[in-house]
Amino acid sequence: MKIGSILENQNIEKRIAVTPEIVKKYISLGFEVCLSENYGLHLGIKDDQYIAMGASTSKDENKILNSSDILIQLGLLSDEQISNVKQNQTLIGVLNPYNNKEKLMNMAKRKINLFSLELLPRITRAQSMDILSSQANLAGYKAVVESFSYFEKAIPMMMTAAGTVPAAKVLIVGAGVAGLQAIATAKRMGAIVFATDVRMASKEQVESLGGKFLTVEGSENLETEGGYAKEASEDFKKKQEELLTETLKKIDIVICTALIPGKKAPLIIKDDMINKMQAGSVIYDLAAIQGGNTAFTEVDKIVEKNGVKIMGESNILNKLPVSASSLYAKNIFNFVDNLFDKENKRINVNLDDEIIEKTLIK
């Protein structure tokens, strides 16, 4: 059987789905691997490195698309590329079914197996395939580094003969995977860190990393069975707003990570809150692509309001494409390993397997 992958649109996505070390693993399962020519060149990976591991490369991307049994990508293919995918082929990636529903339904009607890995269940057996966690971990780290680079004061407390420089105060909004990594990174760099989340289970995790958890009085636990945050009540939102308004007056840097799968990002930091923040403060909004957690977030722009810089990028992982690709490629391999019937050398869409059943777009 053949596994193929073609280059993503480089203006949108710099990550790749197959690294040289992973080629060797696919070949050990009995697959052939075929990639676009210069597949990893933009990351410093030459075709020779793939070929040395047993892969082949081709200039003809359409040939790769219509001859591969399994196609591994980051995002959904373009309309033209989709037309080259045939019946019974399998496409694996981050297909964003909430925004691409019609396209995916049309592909499913053509009997193309579609697996979208952001739908993975949060179970122990799926952890090695969990692309959301591996990528969010890097995003949380990079958001802190990026925001610190725009903050025009020192981060750690510094005691000098000329006086003391106070430590920067950082607030993390949303203590999921990205938020927890942001807490750990900011703390390591010497900041005083606060965090808030609608899931009460986050309190212990935040405090274990040295952060102070901000609790809304009389708060309820807003966590789904799958471990994600769910929509808060109006009463909770009002109390959270009051707490944040007071907290933000003394905060230097805010990292926003609050997302609800399949929905517009919740608006948490409103215009009047930002107007009361100190000039020179920085907000980095990781939820920008889904509408943003602040009133002024714009994708791929730095907006300045009342002296506060508000940053939001469409894909922060394009700034860490080598590390992000390495983890993503391993996640995908582990998923394929689970999907592949090694004895009969075929794809086994076993709907009794929760991992397969949850990620298959039907």
Which residues does the annotation mark as catalytic? 122, 127, 130, 133, 228
Cα 58 to Cα 15, 62, 67, 326, distances in angstroms: 19, 10, 12, 22
Give 252's DSSP letter: S
CB atoms within 10 A of CB 195: 27
Phi, psi of 172 (to 5 degrees): -105, 120
Among candidate residues 279, 211, 203, 270, the one with its CA nearest the CA of residue 241: 270
Strands 212-213 and 282-285: unpaired
Query: For residue 359, what are the contacts with CB-CB under 8 A and spacing of at least 6?
Result: 115, 116, 117, 119, 120, 335
Helix then strand count (H, E) for the chain reads: 12, 17
- Give the residue carrying structure tokens 């935040």: 206
Tokens of 120: 């993975």
Phi, psi of 243 (to 5 degrees): -65, -45
- Give SS3 for 300: coil
